[in-house]
Structure 1
Amino acid sequence: MTHLDTLLGHVSKAYLRISQGLLLALVVGILAEVVLRYLLGRGILGSAELTRLVITWIVFLMAFVLYRSRRHIVVTALVDMLDPRARAFCERITDVSVVLLSCYVMLQLWHVWEFLGLRTPVFEIPDTAFKIAPVFCFVPMGLQALVNVLVGNSSAEPEGSEGV
């Protein structure tokens, strides 16, 4: 399991770097769009398609990065009042729930796969380029949650170990 945890750590770092590159491309693209609209009165044809694709991938890649480092949005008011054993139990319930949710998302994607033949109008980006992004999030997220359950790891990486 420690090998899988190490592999997931490398995946998390790669996702972070990819997301940073995509975010940079997104900022430059939107800036170019604004400047061209202001100067020429016309924007870049198809920029909305590319923006939607990039945002989709950033969201799903970073969801795993944040889950692994335990920096995702979570409300812990009730859990923080519990003793350490009860808190650990709540974390196990959360991890088991993430494994089940990951399996459910993959099953739903499998059921709709045959209907993903659409393409965007300008660049003809296949719909699968958008719909495959959850796989890159939920598969490693489910594996990380499984590692957390089996190893009893309450935090995959210590706070501040990754430069998110």
Structure 2
Amino acid sequence: MKTIDTILAKISALYLRLSQAALLALVVGILLEVVMRYFLGRAFVGSAELTQLAITWIVFLMAFVLFRTRRHIVVTALVDMLGPRTNRVFDTLINIATIVLSVYVLVQLGNVWEFLGLETPVFRIPDTVFKIAPVFCFVPMALQASINAVAPWIEPPSPHEPEHV
């Protein structure tokens, strides 16, 4: 379990850095787009494609990072009223549901794989580059949920401190 947790920590750190780089490129690209439209009256051809690609990958890579550090969006009103034993039961159910969802998404991706032959009009980016992003999210997320369910004593990294890998 510890080995898988270490690998997931390295993946999480890599995803965080890749997301930061993609976000920086996205912000600079959109800023250049605004400047070009304002001063030159012209848009950068294909900026919508690159923006969509960057946002897609940022969302899925960061979904795993946030899930691993337990910083994803949650509503805790009911959980806060329950005792620790009931919380552990709900944690286990949530981890099982995450694994089931991950498997479902991967199966659905496999079902539509043969239809992913489209390309974007400007840069000819294959549709698979967009559609493969969930795999990079849900495979490690399912592994993390498995660790959370099987070895609940392994504490998640602190959301306030970066992981030391």
* TM-score by shorter chain over 0.5: yes
Where does structure 1 lack aligned partners over 5 or more consecutive residues? none
The match for 2:70 is 70
RMSD of the alignment, in Å? 1.2
Distance 1:29 1:156 in 2: 35
Q: Percent identity?
A: 61
> Contact between 1:70 and 1:155, CA under 8 Å: does it hold in 2?
no
How far does residue 42 in structure 1 lie from its aligned partner after superposition? 0.3
TM-score if structure 2 supplies the norm length?
0.96
How far does residue 54 in structure 1 lie from its aligned partner after superposition? 0.3
> Contact between 1:95 and 1:146, CA under 8 Å: does it hold in 2?
yes
From the superposition, tell whether residues 36 and 106 of structure 1 become closer, same or farther in structure 2 (CA, over 3 Å). Answer: same
How far does residue 109 in structure 1 lie from its aligned partner after superposition? 0.3
The match for 1:139 is 139
Distance 1:132 1:123 in 2: 18
Q: Give the paired residue count.
A: 163
Distance 1:153 1:11 in 2: 21
TM-score if structure 1 supplies the norm length?
0.96
Equivalent residue letter for 2:67: Y
The match for 1:149 is 149
Describe how 1:4-153 pairs up with structure 2 within 5 A: 4-153=4-153
> Residue by residue, what CA displacement relative to the aligned partner does 1:112-151 show, whole Å, maximum 9, x if unpaired?
0000000000000000000000000000000000011111
Secondary structure of the structure 2 residue equivalent to 1:37: helix
Equivalent residue letter for 1:26: L
How far does residue 158 in structure 1 lie from its aligned partner after superposition? 2.5
Runs of 4+ residues over 6 Å off in structure 1? none
Secondary structure of the structure 2 residue equivalent to 1:100: helix
Equivalent residue letter for 1:91: D
Distance 1:136 1:118 in 2: 21
How far does residue 161 in structure 1 lie from its aligned partner after superposition? 2.4
